[in-house]
Amino acid sequence: MFIGLRTALGGAVAVLVVANLLNNWFAPTAYVATAVIACVLLLGLLRLAKGTWADAGLGQDTLRRGVAWGLALSVGAAVVVLACVLAPPTRHLFLDPRVEGAGPEAIAFAALVRVPVGTVLLEEIGFRGVVYGLAARIRGFTWATGISSGLFGLWHLLPAISVVADHPAASGAGSPIGAAVAVAMLATSLVGVGLCELRRRSGSLIPCIALHWTVNALAYVAAYLVFQTST
């Protein structure tokens, strides 16, 4: 049985909506399991639409180039995060209350399991893989970038509300929460544009996965180290 590209794209968006609600409202403790199931469903929809692994950015012909790009970007991102942690003007930005009081085991789980599986794989396979690949087949890369990045910004609505409410540094003193959330969503949409372009130029989803994982995982580690050295 096969389905149309637009049907598959609509189904992919529906899967992402359900996953977002589960992760943020209804079943946050099942974060990793939800991500795994959602990834399977998303790739299944792509295959039902006669999509290929290459459409998801996972083709074997671009594997070597993708790994090379991913390694280079990961090293660069690690250097930037380290510089921001060491610089007094930006060090306070890592004081994330979600990390305060966490032990090394919790940080290791976040960096090695929760972030790569629960966050990175789902978001990259979902937005830069399946949604981008289906949309590109329907109307081309430019349209695919707009759809993928717009949805990526909306994906961060619920977590942005939570972070801005709990993390004063995210919005600044006296800033309206609504404005700060809108800025956060716009910022993640722009990040999505950059990741889509990285996917297009490299021909692979691997650099997006590597960069995303490096930045998010090191943010947890950096926050932990900042809290430990600030108390």
Q: Which amino acid is at 81?
A: V
- For residue 42, what are its two tokens? 């998303």
Rounded Cα distance between 76 and 214, Å, is 10
The whole-angstrom distance between residue 122's C-alpha and the CA centroid of its chain comes to: 7
Q: Which pLDDT does position 172 carry in this prediction? A: 53
Radius of gyration of the chain (CA): 18
First to last CA, the chain: 60
Rounded Cα distance between 153 and 176, Å, is 19
Q: Are 69 and 202 in contact (CB under 8 A)?
A: yes
Question: Which ranges constitute the DSSP H helices of 57-103?
Answer: 63-86, 88-91
Q: Tens of pLDDT along 136-195?
A: 999 999 999 999 999 999 999 999 888 776 665 555 545 567 888 899 899 999 999 999
Q: With a cut of 70, list the residues of the chain below it in pLDDT.
A: 165-176, 231
Cβ partners under 8 Å of residue 125, min gap 6 = 39, 42, 43, 56, 205
Q: Which pLDDT does position 38 carry in this prediction? A: 98
Rounded Cα distance between 141 and 148, Å, is 10
Q: Which pLDDT does position 13 carry in this prediction? A: 98
Q: Which pLDDT does position 203 carry in this prediction? A: 95
The whole-angstrom distance between residue 138's C-alpha and the CA centroid of its chain comes to: 23
Rounded Cα distance between 132 and 124, Å, is 10
Q: Which pLDDT does position 98 carry in this prediction? A: 76
Q: Which pLDDT does position 92 carry in this prediction? A: 83
Q: Which pLDDT does position 101 carry in this prediction? A: 79
Rounded Cα distance between 128 and 27, Å, is 24
